[in-house]
């Protein structure tokens, strides 16, 4: 067993290196990802190791990056595109939703699109406008795209490799506030498939579901609730499209209560979809309405107000209290 301790940024770097070593058709594309190693240094050292033809510094043109990746995929390559910040993805939105997501269906399965789009997303870094958004719902709504989001270095290491191996396009949402806390990475074998939901804390009274950076908040809330005698089960989605509902349904059948938490605004969101689906599939197990804890339905505020905007432990525990009150 080979276990290393590293932050998520280094785990993704190690996963990319492993994928590039295993397949010469894997290449990286993005703004400043070469000698600089990207804004968050996730690709640090990879251009020096694999050369400029496999780690490409691109112009500041997200539409061009995605469009080029689509052409490369049609020629048998497996491009991995980095979007520098979440809010910068929208110039490439048309290429992603109108071309990348539909190309395989358009060609009746004869053309595959093994493209990975890495998206650093979410708040907690004190940045300016367009640097702390959570746009995952736009893409989860689009048939033809797969969406995943790791919350630990170990998941990041394995999921980036599994995403690259997929013949479908994968949006890889990286919670940038979790880039630098360290965690154990077991390089022996992946323990969960790419799209598997995972129960990370057992409980009996309330189920908390989230993804990405919210997992640290949910685990902290569960610890505090346990000190007051409340048993909370915590589930990491890991995959936002498709969603592996079975572990969630089983958990709700046990606890009778579900709270879905996310940094993104709550209106027409991933959390909304989970709430609706669980209500359909486990209605008679619910002892309280499914509750959502989310960012407010407003543009992401200036950095000094982000702690008010983003869901925190207090807001999660307040929802727990409301769920238990029914």
The whole-number pLDDT of residue 129 equals: 78
The whole-number pLDDT of residue 137 equals: 96
The whole-number pLDDT of residue 126 equals: 76
0.85 surpassed by pTM: yes
The whole-number pLDDT of residue 1 equals: 62
The whole-number pLDDT of residue 125 equals: 76
The whole-number pLDDT of residue 189 equals: 84
Query: For 300-319, what is each residue's pLDDT tens digit?
Result: 888 888 889 999 999 999 99
Options 124, 131, 195, 211, the catalytic residue: 131
Return the percentage of the chain with pLDDT > 70, whole number.
Answer: 100
- Structural domains of the chain in order of their starting residue, each with its CATH number: 7-186 (3.40.50.970), 198-325 (3.40.50.920)
Query: For 251-299, what is each residue's pLDDT tens digit?
Result: 999 999 999 999 999 999 999 999 999 999 999 999 999 999 999 999 9
User: Does residue 131 have an active-site annotation?
Assistant: yes
The whole-number pLDDT of residue 154 equals: 96
With a cut of 70, list the residues of the chain below it in pLDDT: 1
Annotate the chain with three-state secondary structure.
CCEEEEEHHHHHHHHHHHHHHHCCCEEEEECCCCCCCCCCCCCCCHHHHHCCCCEEECCCCHHHHHHHHHHHHHCCCEEEEECCCHHHCHHHHHHHHHHHCCHHHHCCCCCCCCCEEEEEECCCCCCCCCCCCCCHHHHHCCCCCEEECCCCHHHHHHHHHHHHHCCCCEEEEEEHHHCCCEEEEECCCCCCCCCCCEEEECCCCEEEEECCCHHHHHHHHHHHHHHCCCCEEEEECCEEECCCCHHHHHHHHHHCCEEEEEEEECCCCHHHHHHHHHHHHCHHHCCCCCEEEEECCCCCCCHHHHHHHCCCHHHHHHHHHHHHHC
């Amino acid at each position: 067993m080979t276990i290393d301790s590293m932050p998520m940024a280094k785990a993704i770097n190690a996963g990319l290196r492993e994928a590039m070593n295993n397949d010469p058709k894997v290449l990286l594309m993005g703004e400043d990802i070469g000698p600089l190693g990207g804004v968050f240094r996730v690709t640090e050292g990879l251009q020096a190791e694999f050369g400029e033809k496999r780690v490409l510094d691109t112009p500041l043109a997200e539409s061009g990056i995605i469009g080029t990746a689509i052409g490369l995929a049609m020629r048998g390559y497996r491009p991995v595109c980095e979007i520098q910040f979440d809010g910068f993805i929208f110039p490439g939105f048309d290429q992603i939703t109108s071309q990348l997501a539909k190309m395989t269906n358009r060609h009746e399965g004869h053309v595959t699109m093994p493209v990975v789009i890495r998206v650093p997303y979410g708040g907690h870094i004190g940045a300016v406008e367009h640097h702390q958004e959570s746009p995952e719902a736009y893409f989860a709504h689009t048939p033809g795209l797969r969406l995943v989001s790791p919350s630990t270095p170990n998941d990041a290491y394995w999921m980036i490799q599994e995403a690259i191996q997929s013949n479908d396009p994968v949006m890889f949402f990286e919670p940038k506030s979790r880039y630098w806390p360290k965690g154990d990475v077991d390089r022996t074998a992946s323990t969960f498939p790419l799209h598997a939901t995972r129960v990370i804390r057992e409980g009996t009274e309330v189920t908390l579901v989230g993804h990405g950076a919210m997992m640290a908040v949910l685990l902290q809330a569960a610890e505090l609730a346990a000190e007051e005698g409340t048993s909370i089960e915590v589930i990491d989605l890991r995959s936002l499209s498709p969603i592996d509902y079975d572990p969630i349904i089983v958990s709700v059948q046990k606890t009778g209560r579900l709270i879905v938490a996310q940094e993104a605004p709550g209106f027409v969101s991933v959390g909304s979809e989970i709430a609706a689906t669980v209500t359909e599939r486990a209605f008679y197990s619910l002892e309280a309405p499914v509750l959502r804890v989310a960012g407010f339905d407003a543009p992401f505020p200036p950095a000094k107000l982000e702690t008010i905007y983003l869901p925190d432990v207090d807001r999660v525990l307040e929802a727990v209290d409301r769920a238990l009150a029914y």
